[in-house]
């Protein structure tokens, strides 16, 4: 499984890493749903560039802000196409007509996607600096998606308890790192998918809550 850009870190795997993974001779399942939401010159390298034995999963949810429409697709090896069709027909048949029409319209919205990407870049910088000002460590700015994973172990080792405490005292929701596996325990995930006003208000609330801790 390869997720690039990833949730929750926003990391984008460099070309040489993707190429090395393909050389292992294993089928690659590549989640590229956040492709297009990239910063600082980062570019997504798909395993399709190196291997035909890979599955690429993508969709309209993130770059076109169509999360509730559930419109996605997979690029698959030819031998897997028929089994995938059988699965789709038995699980959910197809995307509804109006959702497909919306997807067609979205494909012609490149200008707006770029404007939104630039807005995400501004929000990213705002939240990145704000989280660091709270005393949390962010190992590096995210290169894609719209999340920041911050090391909060100076506040406590239990990310679920910490997230619940911040929700109750600051009325700010953050994602506990443990939701993403044991390796992320002690971290908190912040999202900059919301607007700048809400980001600033959330940071002020967190600052007040942490000052009283």
Write out pLDDT tens, residues 107-129. Answer: 999 999 999 999 999 999 999 99
SS3 202: helix
d(CA 39, CA 11): 10
- Residue 148 and residue 189 in one domain: yes
- Residue 102 and residue 137 in one domain: no
This prediction has a pTM of: 0.91
- Residue 88 and residue 142 in one domain: no
Task: Give, in order, the Cα–Cα distances in Å from 89 to each of 66, 78, 81, 85.
Answer: 22, 18, 12, 6
Average pLDDT, the chain: 96
Q: Please say which residue of 76, 106, 136 terminates a domain.
A: 106
| pLDDT tens digits for range 52-84 | 999 999 999 999 999 999 999 999 999 999 999
- Residue 141 and residue 174 in one domain: yes
Indicate if the pLDDT at residue 201 is higher than 90. Answer: yes
Indicate if the pLDDT at residue 213 is higher than 80. Answer: no
- Residue 40 and residue 102 in one domain: yes
Q: Please say which residue of 52, 82, 106 terminates a domain.
A: 106
pLDDT for the residue 212: 85
| pLDDT tens digits for range 163-172 | 999 999 999 9
- Residue 93 and residue 10 in one domain: yes
- Residue 79 and residue 124 in one domain: no
122 class by beta-carbon count within 10 Å (0-12 exposed, 13-18 middle, 19+ buried)? exposed
Give me the domain span that covers residue 154. 111-211
- Residue 121 and residue 148 in one domain: yes
- Smallest Cα–Cα separation from 15: which of 33, 1, 2, 34? 2
Is the CA virtual torsion 65, 114, 13, 152 positive or negative? Answer: negative
Structural domain count of the chain: 2
- Residue 101 and residue 29 in one domain: yes
> What percentage of the chain exceeds 90 in pLDDT?
94
**CB within 8 A of 143, min separation 6: which ones?**
5, 10, 11, 12, 38, 39, 40, 42
Domain CATH number, residue 192:
3.90.1150.10
- Residue 40 and residue 127 in one domain: no
Q: Please state, as a whole number, how many other Cβ atoms lie within 10 Å of the Cβ of residue 111.
A: 8
Q: Please say which residue of 106, 125, 142 terminates a domain.
A: 106
| pLDDT tens digits for range 130-165 | 999 999 999 889 999 999 999 999 999 999 999 999
pLDDT for the residue 92: 84
């Amino acid at each position: 499984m390869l997720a690039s850009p990833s949730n929750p870190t926003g990391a984008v795997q460099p070309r040489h890493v993707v190429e090395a993974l393909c050389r292992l001779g294993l089928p690659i399942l590549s989640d590229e749903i956040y492709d297009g939401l990239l910063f600082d010159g980062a570019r997504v390298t798909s395993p399709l560039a190196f291997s035909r034995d890979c599955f690429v999963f993508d969709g309209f949810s993130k770059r076109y802000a169509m999360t509730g429409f559930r419109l996605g697709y997979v690029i698959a090896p030819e031998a897997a196409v028929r089994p995938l069709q059988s699965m789709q027909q038995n699980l959910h048949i197809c995307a509804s007509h109006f959702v497909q029409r919306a997807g067609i319209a979205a494909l012609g919205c490149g200008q707006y996607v770029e404007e939104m990407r630039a807005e995400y870049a501004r929000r990213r910088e705002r939240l990145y600096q704000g989280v660091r000002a709270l005393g949390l460590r962010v190992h590096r700015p995210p290169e894609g998606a719209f999340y920041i994973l911050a090391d909060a172990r100076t506040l406590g080792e239990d990310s679920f308890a910490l997230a619940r405490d911040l929700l109750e005292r600051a009325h700010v929701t953050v994602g506990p790192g443990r939701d993403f596996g044991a390796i992320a325990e002690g971290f908190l995930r912040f999202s900059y998918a919301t607007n700048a006003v809400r980001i600033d208000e959330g940071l002020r609330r967190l600052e007040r809550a942490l000052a009283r801790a």
